[in-house]
Amino acid sequence: MSDDRMEERLLGTESNDTSSLTGKVWEESRKVWRVTFPAMLARVTSFGIFVVMQAFIGHIGKTELAAYALIQIIGIRFANGITAGMSSATETLCGQAFGAKQYHMLGIYLQRSWIINLVTATILVPVFVYASSIFKLLGEEDEIAEDAGYIALWFIPIIYSFVFGMTIQKFLQCQLKNTVVGWLSAISFGIHVLLSWLFVCVLDWEIPGAMSAMIISNWLVVIGEFVYMFGGWCESTWKGFTWAAFADLWPVIKLSVSSGIMLCLELWYNAVLVLLAGYMTNAAVAISAFSICLNIWAWEFMMCLGFLTGASVRVSNELGRGNGKGALFAIKVILGTSINIGVVFWILCLVFSGQIAYIFTSEEDVAEEVSSLSVLLAFLVLLNSVQPVLSGVAVGSRRQSMVAYVNIGAYYVIGVPLGVVLAYVAKLEVQGIWIGMIIGVATQTAVLGFITYRTNWDEQVDKASERLNRWFLKRPDDNGESSATEQLNG
């Protein structure tokens, strides 16, 4: 199947003539799920590896659970935020090249991202080597900091898996081949559960067994992506290794760094709150309970990020076609679908509030703390069903910088300070931090909702048309390679 036919099949660029509202909703839903489901499957299963790992480590001991929570939510989120953000530059550049039918450039952009991200990952390694000292310097309890430092060393191979896994995922997604990533992630998740049970429960290897299972699972996805890419399924976009990858690196570095900073500001929000939980009266219980709720929320959030991808693709697709009304209709369908799913998870959180914690821990005090946060967790889950869709709409209409500013204001100007006041001044402790987080997310959702409501979609169509004419009508040079600098500065 040609690339043009593949794009038409997946995105549904040819609209069916359906007269009834039900028919139109069904047709739009079909288009949305073709994009959303693979993205959702990949995100849920990838993050599920970390959630399952927390469940196994939680049954080893309370201190080990708190230590893992510290390094996973602070250390790994720090590294993941940087690598994921810098990998988003790959998505931008490969997306432009694929849209302009300059397929040979996708492989070159991918190799440039490997070079930049490998250097970045190596710079981050000392953070994990000296994690114990860093946590002690930040005032965490010595026992928790020591265990966190030991677990951090096991995460170093996982950091390097991010370099290849995330960039190849963006490379494939731009070609509308993200289904393979979803299935690779799902298979890896199943293997991870099996290995974790074998290493921790059967062989009793405790932390080394749990972390070995995670390393193997993460690298299995990367190996599968390499096999798919090198095996001939990307013959038009992967032409082999080339020295051209070392040319024009500086513009790519600038784009990567700016993308990384924008994404990190959002991902580090939760890390800051977990760090604050470490200063509570009973730090081990506070960190453990907060991180359990946070991982439940984040796992459901991964599903909602699938709708972010769907919203981004559908809105950008309709704007590119010059169909402002179609973009608005797509937003309504995606938002309605996401909210319905959010209501289901909201009800589940309320119904099983007393039992959720025992999946992750055997400690009664930790379970009681999680139970006290369950109602707040349920409402944060409900907000998840709206906020990612609105972010996806903004991304689809190329307003990422606006989202970054909204995130800074909602999270760091409102959410964190309010959480500190409620936790330490009002003596609400962990509940205060969580309330601050909810208010921050609610503020972000309200602002993005207002912006979306006030958007003139016909005007967005005109802007999209201008960008397409300026960027996508460029043609390769005589030697078959266009200038990356020209595209970046265009």
* Residue 211, CB-side half-sphere exposure with 13 Å CA sphere: 19
How far is C-alpha 289 from the chain's CA centre? 22
For residue 278, give the amino acid letter: G
Report yes or no: 447 and 410 within 8 Å, Cβ to Cβ. yes
Determine the pLDDT at residue 387. 86
- What interhelical angle do 206-228 and 142-154 show, nearest 10? 30
| Tokens describing residue 132 | 């114990």
Residue span of the structural domain in which 142 resides:
20-474
Closest CA to 412 of 402, 420, 400: 420
The contacts of residue 330 (CB under 8 Å, 6+ apart) are 28, 31, 32, 311, 314, 315, 318
Is 462 domain-assigned?
Answer: yes
| Tokens describing residue 69 | 């929570």
How far is C-alpha 93 from the chain's CA centre? 19
DSSP state letter for 101:
T
Three-state secondary-structure class, residue 171: helix
Closest CA to 172 of 258, 83, 237: 237
191 φ/ψ angles, rounded to the nearest 5 degrees:
-65, -35
Is 486 domain-assigned?
Answer: no
Cα separation, 163 vs 290, in Å, equals: 29
Is 404 domain-assigned?
Answer: yes
Is 481 domain-assigned?
Answer: no
How far is C-alpha 376 from the chain's CA centre? 22
Closest CA to 279 of 268, 294, 265, 290: 290
For residue 136, give the amino acid letter: K
Closest CA to 59 of 484, 488, 358, 410: 358
Each as own residue / partner, the long-range contacts of residues 208-211 (CB below 8 Å, 24 or more positions apart, any chain) are 208/154, 210/53, 210/56, 210/57, 210/60, 211/53, 211/151, 211/154, 211/155
pLDDT in tens, the chain (490 residues): 444 444 444 444 444 444 688 888 888 888 788 778 887 888 888 878 887 887 888 778 778 888 887 888 777 877 877 777 677 666 666 765 665 567 778 888 889 889 888 988 999 899 899 999 988 887 777 888 888 899 999 999 999 998 898 889 878 876 777 788 889 999 999 999 999 999 988 888 988 998 999 999 999 999 999 999 998 888 888 888 888 777 777 776 766 666 666 666 666 676 677 667 667 667 677 777 777 787 777 777 777 877 877 777 777 767 766 788 888 898 999 999 999 988 998 898 888 876 777 777 777 777 887 888 888 888 888 888 898 888 878 766 767 667 778 888 988 899 889 988 988 888 887 788 888 888 988 998 999 999 988 888 888 777 766 654 544 434 444 444 444 333 333 3
Is 175 domain-assigned?
Answer: yes
* Residue 490, CB-side half-sphere exposure with 13 Å CA sphere: 19
Report yes or no: 446 and 406 within 8 Å, Cβ to Cβ. no
For residue 399, give the amino acid letter: R
Is 237 domain-assigned?
Answer: yes
Residue recorded with tokens 């020591």: 146
Cα separation, 46 vs 26, in Å, equals: 29
| Tokens describing residue 284 | 């081990």
Closest CA to 287 of 116, 40, 58: 58
Cα separation, 73 vs 68, in Å, equals: 8
Is 446 domain-assigned?
Answer: yes
| Tokens describing residue 142 | 């010595």
The C-alpha angle 49, 52, 55, rounded to 5 degrees, equals 150
Report yes or no: 39 and 172 within 8 Å, Cβ to Cβ. no
Cα separation, 227 vs 436, in Å, equals: 45
Report yes or no: 109 and 246 within 8 Å, Cβ to Cβ. no
CB atoms within 10 A of CB 156: 16
Looking at the 3D structure of the chain, how many domains does it have? 1
- What interhelical angle do 457-467 and 283-320 show, nearest 10? 80
Q: Which residues of 13-26 are buried (b: 16+ CB within 10 A; e: fewer)?
A: eeeeeeeeeeebbe
What does the H/E/C string look like for 454-466?
A: HCCHHHHHHHHHH
Is 188 domain-assigned?
Answer: yes
Determine the pLDDT at residue 467. 54
236 φ/ψ angles, rounded to the nearest 5 degrees:
-85, -15
Determine the pLDDT at residue 11. 46
For residue 98, give the amino acid letter: F
